[in-house]
Structure 1
Amino acid sequence: MTLAHDVTGDGPTVLLLHSTVVDRRMWDPTIPALAEAGFRAVRCDLRGYGDSPLAAEPYNDADDALALLGPGPFAIIGSSGGGRVALEIAARHPARVTTLVLLCTASDDLAPGPRLRAVWDRENALLEAGDIDGAVDLNVTQWVGPEASDQTRSSVRVMQRRVFDIQMAVPEEPPQTAYEYAYADITARTLLVTGAHDLPEFSEVADHLAGVLPAATRMHLPWVGHLPSIERPDLLNPILLDFLR
């Protein structure tokens, strides 16, 4: 199956991988800025998000995303769970990935603390009770930072509801195919962005990666929650473009 995706602009390719709270629409404020700056932006819905149904057999998110690209080099911008996929791609294909921008990224090494476990437990309890709207509200409150507009919160609510509708309609998701790789094999220039209003686990992930990746830049922003690209695109887009250039 080919992932739902779209391509905008001409020039060096930038692959955008969304957070697992939302779908590829999270990049709506980013795509015009990339295209205007002379990049070719490729964004996709991973399986079980947006317009991409869940798989019926084992799959791998990194392989699915790579299938959308040609043979040449590319950059990646990954948000949260999409950042974990970006890290896998860059570790398995270091010669192809020129630049990584990781926004509040997850990783294979993420160790959930009490606050993150409490969010997951509360979400599961709400879903088991059939309170999908409550689970949506929980995620919007948790993951959207204080500087986001009401319109942005409404957009995240729509996307998160779509995630639940797709994934809860399938009795059991097939497993992902696992590969062996090491983050130390990544050679791409990497920008690790975290925010003051996010859970501490994501800063811990970024701090760890900053010590592992050979060409990493660390940036902590005071106005960021978990989804900076849609919370304040006016502030984040210049950061993205400066690093990609």
Structure 2
Amino acid sequence: MTISHDVAGDGPVVVLLHSGVCDRRMWDPQWPALIAAGHRVVRCDFRGFGRTPAPDRPHNDAEDVLDLLDALGIERATLVASSYGGRVALEIAARRPDRVSSMALLCPALPGHEPSAELRAFGAREDALLEAGDIAGAVELNVDTFLGPEADEATREAVRGMQRNAFDVQLAVTEEFGRITVDFDLSAIKAPSLVLSGAHDLADFRQIAAGLPDVLTDARHVELPWAGHLPSVERTSAVTDLLIDFLRG
């Protein structure tokens, strides 16, 4: 299955990978700017998000992205990834370093990270709400947890819609299929990387971002004092400028 995607523009390829709270629409503010800056831009929905159906078999999101790039004839790309998408980007870059020219990771997740009590409590609360059938409550929990103080009501509504869609798609299936996990070594990553974190994010993601330069060959970390977990939708122009400057470098 080819995951749902958009592709436009000409030039060096940039692939946008969404967070687990959103889908590919989270990149709407950056999409035209990156194309105008001279890039061929690809964005996709992971299985169970946006317009990609829920999984019908065990799957691996990194493999899905690599299969998409193969289908589009793309040999090498920059990965720009948010949250869970950052975890997928790290897997791609570690397993196939020849395919990744650089990475910009926004509040990335990390395989093997031991969640804090705060993050475990969030997960337990989300599970309880979903099991009780309170999907709207689970949506609001995610919006309140992952958006920082810069997010206005329009941004909150956009994230609310993407998270609700993901729950609706994923909860509609009668059989759940897990993700195939693959071991990989982060030290294999050679791509120059920019790692962003938000000062208002959960401590887990701040720690992951701050620690990645100690693991990756060529990475620098920047904490955004105004940001929560989703800076690209919270202050869109500031993040767009950061990304374009990074791509030029």
The interval holding the TM-score normalised by the smaller chain is over 0.9
> Is 1:153 matched with 2:133?
no
Q: Distance in 2 between matches of 1:81 and 1:225?
A: 15
Shift of 1:115: 1.1
Moved more, 1-10 or 167-176: 167-176
1:127 aligns with 2:127: no
What letter is aligned with 1:179? V
C-alpha distance in 2 between matches for 1:172 and 1:86: 27
Secondary structure of residue in 2 paired with 1:67: helix
Is 2:127 aligned against 1:106? no
Match of 1:13 in 2: 13
Is the CA contact 1:55–1:173 (under 8 Å) kept in the aligned structure 2?
yes
User: Which deviations, in whole Å up to 9, do the C-alpha atoms of 1:38-62 show, x marking residues without a partner?
Assistant: 0111000000000001121121111
1:31 aligns with 2:27: no
Gaps of 5+ in 1: none
Secondary structure of 1:88 counterpart: helix
Alignment of 1:139-150 (within 5 A): 139-150=142-153
Which ranges of 4 or more aligned residues in structure 1 deviate by more than 4 Å? none
Kept in 2: contact 1:18–1:24 (CA 8 A): yes
Q: Does the 8 Å contact 1:104/1:193 carry over to 2?
A: yes
Conserved 8 A contact 1:189-1:215: yes
Corresponding residue SS for 2:2: coil
Q: Is the 8 A contact 1:109 1:205 kept in 2?
A: no
Q: State the 1:71 CA deviation.
A: 4.1
Q: Distance in 1 between matches of 2:221 and 2:80?
A: 15
Which letter maps to 1:158? G
RMSD: 1.0
| Helix, strand or coil at the partner of 1:223 | coil
C-alpha separation between the residues in 2 aligned to 1:199 and 1:23? Answer: 20
Partners of 1:57 and 1:137 lie apart in 2 by: 29
Shift in Å at residue 174 of structure 1?
1.4
Separation in 2 of the partners of 1:171 and 1:45?
Answer: 21
Q: Which stretch shows the higher mean deviation, 212-221 or 165-174?
A: 165-174
1:101-139 CA distances to partner (integer Å, 9 max, x unpaired)?
A: 000000103221111111111111111111111111111
Task: Output the CA distance in 2 between the equivalents of 1:203 and 1:228.
Answer: 13
Q: Which residue of 1 aligns with 2:68?
A: 68
TM-score (norm: length of structure 1): 0.97
The 5 Å alignment of 1:1-245 reads 1-69=1-69, 70-245=73-248
The AA in structure 2 aligned to 1:23 is D
TM-score, length basis structure 2: 0.96
Distance of 1:219 and 1:134 partners within structure 2 = 33
Rounded to whole Å, the distance in 1 between the matches of 2:145 and 2:179 is: 27
- Structure 2: tracts of 5 or more residues without a match: none
Number of residues of Structure 1 aligned to a counterpart in Structure 2? 245
Pairwise CA distance, 1:93 = 0.8
Q: For 1:3 and 1:134, how far apart are their aligned partners in 2?
A: 29
Q: Could you tell me how far apart the structure 1 residues matched to 2:225 and 2:210 are?
A: 16
